[in-house]
Amino acid sequence: MLKYTRMLVSAGIIAACGVSAHAQTAGDWVLGNYKGAGYWFPGIVVKSGNDKITIRYDDGDVETVAIGDIRPYDWMIGMKVECNYKGAGKWYAGKIASLAGEKIGIAYDDGDKETTKTGRCRSQ
C-alpha cells in the first residue's frame, strides 16, 4: 500500500510541475507538432527509437520528429481547437463538443457546428 501511495504522490508532483511523459510505444495516440509549425495534430506512433518518433497523423500524413515534438493526446470536451471546416481548407476556432475516437463534434466560435474527424483539427 505504501508503494502505491508513493506512486500516486509522485505522479501528482510530476503533473503539478507540468512535466509530461512522452509516449514512445507504437500504437500510442499522441499530438505531434507537424513540421514544427506550432500546431499540434493527433496521430498514432508507428515507430520509435534514437530519440525520434514516427507518427501517422489522423489525416494520413506521416512524419518522423524529435521526441520533444510530441506530447500525450489530451483533447477533451470543452477544449479549444481549430478545425478545417467541411475540409474546405480554412481553419476556424471552436471548442470540442463531443469526442468518440476519431469522431469529433465542434461548436465553432461563430455559432456553426460540425461533426468531423480529428484529422481535420489541431490545437496550439
Residues 50-62: pLDDT tens digits? 899 999 999 999 9
The total domain count for the chain is 2
Clarify whether residues 26 and 61 are in a common domain: yes
Per-residue pLDDT averaged across 78-104, rounded?
97
Q: Is 104 exposed, middle or buried (0-12, 13-18, 19+ CB in 10 A)?
A: buried
Helices (H) and strands (E) in the chain, counts: 1, 10
Cell of 49: 527509437
Q: Examine residue 110 and state whether it is found in any structural domain, yes or no.
A: yes
95 Cβ contact partners less than 8 Å away, ≥ 6 residues apart: 78, 79, 80, 81, 106, 107, 109
User: What pLDDT is stored for residue 44 in this prediction?
Assistant: 96
For residue 12, what pLDDT is reported? 39
Same domain, 27 and 61: yes
pLDDT at site 121:
98
Q: Which domain holds residue 84?
A: 80-122
Most confident of the following: 3-12, 14-23, 85-94: 85-94
Residues in the chain: 124
Rounded to the nearest integer, the mean pLDDT of the chain is: 85
